[in-house]
């Protein structure tokens, strides 16, 4: 691992990777990359590479797990053994179990589960290359994979972290900022702005948390725009795409 940098932000307010404090890393997405999945999305965000696949709605076995009035949504976040510098031991860990739980819950208000009683919708988020912010990257990819699978949703979900380095709040932490920073606050939200995931590592004042949430809102607006452009590319007509480009 690299050593702690002396300074994370220079006198012009520019971070080590050239971004401003309120700027997210470049993000690209491609939907429908897996033919066997009902829905899929490959997402790159900075140096993160994530693949999301959705299977279902399909009958849930064992049947005792079925929910009579709605579908069960299962979310599995996994980091590939080769996704980080040191090999990760394959299989679930405390970290991945926790991330899976809270990430699945981030979709709770948007997925219209009532249309598929007794069914299961499985969401798999596989981190192929990790570089800080993988849980948020996975949520951004999973949203599009769910839409790709034709799951009825009230809207999209976007996620982004904010943190603190050199006494300043910074949006979308990169690896050194995540490793050596004072705080990491990953947040997911719906298009209505309702927060569906909020975790915090480190120390922030109430004012910083509030300001951080506003910075994440701005970041999520950009992510929603990227997600919508991907949806138009996949499902839109040429005329609709032109309107977006104008
Ligand atoms: P997130 O990826 O959502 O930011 P963390 O804050 O837990 O989650 O992790 C930050 C980064 O640390 C990850 O993106 C990854 O690059 C690295 N990392 C996490 N877990 C491990 C691990 N078990 N081994 C090596 N690197 C890891």
Residues 6 or more apart from 226 whose CB is under 8 A from it? Answer: 27, 29
Please state the ipTM of this predicted complex: 0.98
Distance (Å) from CA 173 to ligand 1 centroid: 12
Residues with CB under 6 A from ligand 1: 84, 86, 88, 130-135, 175, 178, 184, 186
What's the pLDDT score for residue 244? 62
Rounded to whole angstroms, how far apart are CA atoms 144 and 86?
Answer: 30
Instruction: Determine the atom of ligand 1 nearest the C-alpha atom of 135.
Output: 3
Per-residue tens of pLDDT for the chain, all 246 residues: 678 999 999 999 999 999 999 999 999 999 999 999 999 999 999 999 999 999 999 999 999 999 999 999 999 999 999 999 999 999 999 999 999 999 999 999 999 999 999 999 999 999 999 999 999 999 999 999 999 999 999 999 999 999 999 999 999 999 999 999 999 999 999 999 999 999 999 999 999 999 999 999 999 999 999 999 999 999 987 777 676 666
Stated length of the chain: 246
Choose which residue among 50, 131, 134 to substitute to test ligand 1 binding: the one with the highest number of ligand atoms within 8 A of its C-beta: 134
Distance (Å) from CA 86 to ligand 1 centroid: 11
Nearest CA to ligand 1 atom 12: 132
* CA-based nearest residue to 141, from 217, 37, 230: 230
Rg of the chain over Cα atoms, rounded to whole angstroms, equals 18
Rounded to whole angstroms, how far apart are CA atoms 41 and 142?
Answer: 7
What's the pLDDT score for residue 3? 85
Give the domain 27-245 fold.
Answer: Ribosomal Protein S5; domain 2 (3.30.230)
Distance (Å) from CA 132 to ligand 1 centroid: 6
Residue extents of the structural domains in the chain: 27-245
Distance (Å) from CA 62 to ligand 1 centroid: 33
Instruction: Determine the atom of ligand 1 nearest the C-alpha atom of 86.
Output: 25
Choose which residue among 130, 171, 197 to substitute to test ligand 1 binding: the one with the highest number of ligand atoms within 8 A of its C-beta: 130
Distance (Å) from CA 120 to ligand 1 centroid: 29
Distance (Å) from CA 65 to ligand 1 centroid: 32
Instruction: Determine the atom of ligand 1 nearest the C-alpha atom of 184.
Output: 6
Residues 6 or more apart from 24 whose CB is under 8 A from it? Answer: 45, 160, 171, 172, 219, 222, 223
> Cβ-count burial of 26 within 10 angstroms (0-12 exposed, 13-18 middle, 19+ buried)?
exposed
Nearest CA to ligand 1 atom 26: 84
């Amino acid at each position: 691992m690299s050593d702690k940098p002396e300074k994370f932000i220079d006198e012009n307010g520019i971070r080590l990777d050239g971004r401003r404090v309120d700027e997210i890393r470049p993000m690209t997405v491609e939907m429908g990359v897996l033919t066997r999945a009902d829905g899929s999305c490959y997402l790159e965000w900075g140096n993160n590479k994530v693949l999301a696949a959705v299977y279902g709605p399909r009958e849930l076995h064992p049947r005792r797990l079925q929910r009579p009035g709605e579908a069960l949504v299962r979310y599995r976040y996994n980091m590939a053994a080769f996704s980080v510098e040191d090999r990760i031991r394959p299989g679930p860990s405390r970290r991945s179990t926790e991330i899976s739980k809270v990430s699945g819950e981030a979709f709770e208000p948007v997925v219209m589960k009532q249309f598929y009683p007794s069914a299961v919708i499985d969401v798999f988020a596989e981190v192929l290359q990790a570089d800080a912010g993988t849980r948020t990257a996975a949520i951004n990819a999973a949203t599009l994979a769910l839409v790709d699978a034709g799951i009825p949703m009230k809207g999209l979900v976007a996620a982004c972290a904010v943190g603190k380095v050199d006494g300043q709040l910074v949006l979308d932490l990169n690896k050194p900022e995540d490793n050596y920073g004072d705080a990491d606050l990953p947040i997911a939200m719906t298009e209505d702005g309702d927060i569906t995931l909020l975790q915090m590592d480190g120390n922030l004042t109430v004012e910083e948390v509030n300001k951080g949430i506003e910075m994440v809102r701005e970041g999520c607006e950009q992510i929603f725009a990227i997600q919508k452009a991907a949806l138009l590319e996949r499902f839109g007509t040429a005329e609709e795409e032109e309107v977006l480009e104008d």
